Structure 1
Amino acid sequence: MFSSLSHAEETLQPQEDGKEILTILNWSDYMDSEVIREFEEMYNVQVKEVYFETEDLRTDMLLRATGKKIDLVVCNDIAIRAYAKIGWIEPLAREEIPNLKYIDPRWQKLSPESQRYGVPYLWGTTGIAYRKDKVTTPVKSWKALFQPNEELRQKILMVNDVGDIFGMALKLLGYSANSTDPENYEEVEKLLVSQRPFVRNYGYISLDESSVLVTGDVWMAMIYNGDAIALMEYQPSIEYIVPDEGGNIWVDYLCVMQSSDNKKLAAKFINFLNIPKNAARIAVSAYYASPNKAAEKLLPEDFLNNPTIYPSQEVLAKSEIYLPLPVNITKMKNSILSRILQK
């Protein structure tokens, strides 16, 4: 972790060419480089991306000196609520972002905080990717991942995200992904203990030809839908599903940091990204659905009709968006996962 943070801080050193620098804290491979280049040319500025690998690492980076140099951060609704509460992010200057008019209100209004502080960027689902040429039984339920067959011993990859692990395990057990009942989490712990011998690793999957799902070192993974599609380019035997119990619907937002000295430039950048043609290009390059309604009209038909990208209403109805949980439940989840990872 600390080497990643140190590297991030090195990349944030001032440039000598005098150009204004807009720095974005983002997931890797999550923003179209050509769209960025066009913005740089239009405004004669430099856009610099700094990457985080996990939600926790993003928060750690913002806590350190790195955070003082970040202008924009990509985060979900739960993080927006937390960051707004401690004063890290700035309320939107809506008058400076006229292209907000293109955003679908259902994603803008998930919470008062997301409406006040964030601009929806992309949305997607959490599900299962598996090698259909390796896995011999049909994959329809979260049971395939959490109560796997013997053939999957040491062949499973789980995301290292406490929300996804517990949320989807709760769905399998018949509970809400946002359960506040401690007894439900005791059941999840038993489930995760029994699953542990089948898990090769807890982490985030690489998205190139060396990915363990492409090479066959892993046959099944908890994954985000766009990542699954990216891997299908290298290995057509990869299949993605949102299980019958439903999955997680997530939305990522762009937020302006309160400490930024480039708030007006940040607003211009957000507005530029939401020009419909740019929002469409970003969606296609990342393999995720756009919250920009005008952009949807510009997307290729096969993209719009791909159920991995735009799931059916039936799938959406069974899936849940994560909500903030009581402190005691959050601590319980973290303690359980820590015990699991030590096994």
Structure 2
Amino acid sequence: MGKWLNRALRILLLAVYLVVAGKSAALAQKQEPVVDELVLLNWSDYMDPELLEEFQASTGAKVTQVYFETDEMRDDMLLGTNGAGYDLVVANGPGLTNYIRRGWLAPLTLREVPNLRHIETRWLEAFPEARGHAVPLFWGTTGIAYRKDLVSAPVTSWRQLFQPEEALRGKIVMIKSSADTIGMALKCLGYSANSTDPAQLAEVERLLKGQKPFVQTYSYVSLTEESSLVSGTTWMAMMYSGDALMLKDIDEQIAYVVPEEGGNLWVDYLGVMASSSKKELAARFINFLHEPKNMARLAQYVHYAPPNRAAQSLLPKEFLDDPVVYPPQETIGKSEFYQQLPPRTVKERNRIFSEILR
């Protein structure tokens, strides 16, 4: 009898344990639901985390970001996987054109992204190859950020960066990008940023070699309170317009200019990778960002101009009147989009930049 009771008691305790364990597992599952995930290849500080949280709350899908520092770095990351491993990518016009030719981007139409109807035609047509494959996200310029309180005079020319005064020795940061560094060096010399002329590129090489002793580093300044532009260890840097405004919010002594020779005018696009198994969800995310109220919020977060007409109508006057965000037509007229270049020119530019980085 005693053995029977002990056995019955053990069976009863086991049953109670299984019930409790089952309830605990169900509770844990309820508290930590399994969510979809989108992987976005993006610039750092180029997405409002609060918007990502709202997208997750409304869809149950988490957006995980993987960052790159330059266009070349993004290209290398995608080449390493043949375009796989990501659901979404942010890319400029020339990069996007290359990705489309490689078959890395899925088609995107008004049916998948209804908010395409808000995009201004000028940005849809800036790089015609992108139409039907990616959606314009923001546009801006490449210019010079500098410390007004440390340099001797206001910056107006690229020569002040590429042929700097002695006080700037070791105080300059250049973007670690052959497209930007060589492209803007060409502008400095009065040539097109897309020049294929070997003699002009030889001039650029001499110019960059002369500038090198003044360059603190070839990278990109951080956009935090610890930034070298904020601390004053950097006095001048090649930067993108909205990033310079982010730093100006921290320190009013930081100014930004597109030099009188003109700069680079760029458009960033957001596309869905052909290898993604979540294309519908990825397109839904793009459409979510282009909801006018969301795009207006994101524009103010990143300090860049949205190509979304409806979002512009929701932006404050001081944002719309900021000449860094919306440069005057004279500046735009002197600036250029980067274009796809012949392989021999790309090879020569890469050689020059590799020499400079040594």
Q: Classify the TM-score, shorter chain.
A: over 0.9
Structure 1 partner of 2:256: 240
Matches within 5 A, 1:176-255: 176-255=192-271
Secondary structure of 2:139's counterpart equals strand
Q: Residues of 2 paired with 1:57 and 1:286: CA distance?
A: 21
The alignment status of 1:103 with 2:81, answered yes or no, reads no
> What's the TM-score, normalizing by structure 2?
0.89
8 Å contact kept, 2:145–2:237: yes
Q: Residues of 1 paired with 2:319 and 2:33: CA distance?
A: 40
Q: Residues of 2 paired with 1:197 and 1:188: CA distance?
A: 16
Matches within 5 A, 1:248-263: 248-263=264-279
Structure 1 partner of 2:161: 145
Q: CA deviation at 1:93?
A: 3.5
Q: Residues of 2 paired with 1:111 and 1:211: CA distance?
A: 33
Matches within 5 A, 1:256-271: 256-271=272-287
Q: CA deviation at 1:65?
A: 4.8
Q: CA deviation at 1:67?
A: 4.9
The alignment status of 1:339 with 2:325, answered yes or no, reads no
Structure 2 partner of 1:7: none
Secondary structure of 1:295's counterpart equals helix
Matches within 5 A, 1:242-321: 242-321=258-337
Letter in 2 for 1:101: R
Q: CA deviation at 1:32?
A: 1.1
8 Å contact kept, 1:89–1:117: yes
Secondary structure of 1:325's counterpart equals coil
8 Å contact kept, 2:212–2:356: yes
Q: Residues of 2 paired with 1:253 and 1:294: CA distance?
A: 18
Q: Which moved more, 1:92-101 or 1:66-75?
A: 66-75
Secondary structure of 1:68's counterpart equals coil
Q: Residues of 2 paired with 1:37 and 1:246: CA distance?
A: 39
RMSD of aligned residue pairs (Cα, Å):
1.3
Q: Residues of 1 paired with 2:221 and 2:166: CA distance?
A: 22
Q: 1:131 aligns with which of 127, 147, 150?
A: 147
Matches within 5 A, 1:66-81: 67-81=83-97
8 Å contact kept, 1:240–1:308: yes
Q: Residues of 2 paired with 1:152 and 1:64: CA distance?
A: 38
Q: CA deviation at 1:36?
A: 1.4
Structure 1 partner of 2:131: 115
Secondary structure of 1:126's counterpart equals strand
Q: 5+ residue gaps in structure 1?
A: 1-15
Q: Residues of 2 paired with 1:333 and 1:118: CA distance?
A: 28
The alignment status of 1:26 with 2:42, answered yes or no, reads yes
8 Å contact kept, 1:129–1:228: yes
> What's the TM-score, normalizing by structure 1?
0.93
Letter in 2 for 1:222: M
Q: CA deviation at 1:306?
A: 0.6
Q: Residues of 2 paired with 1:66 and 1:88: CA distance?
A: 8
Task: Mark the structure with the bigger radius of gyration.
Answer: 2
Matches within 5 A, 1:5-20: 17-20=33-36
Letter in 1 for 2:274: Q
Name the % identity.
54
8 Å contact kept, 1:226–1:309: yes
Q: CA deviation at 1:227?
A: 0.9
8 Å contact kept, 2:109–2:132: no
8 Å contact kept, 1:93–1:267: no
Q: CA deviation at 1:62?
A: 2.1
Structure 2 partner of 1:86: 102
Q: CA deviation at 1:66?
A: 9.5
Q: Which moved more, 1:218-227 or 1:89-98?
A: 89-98
Matches within 5 A, 1:52-67: 52-65=68-81, 67=83
What do the CA deviations read for 1:126-156 (whole angstroms, capped 9, x no partner)? 0011111010123110010001011111111
Q: Residues of 1 paired with 2:83 and 2:98: CA distance?
A: 15
Letter in 1 for 2:199: E
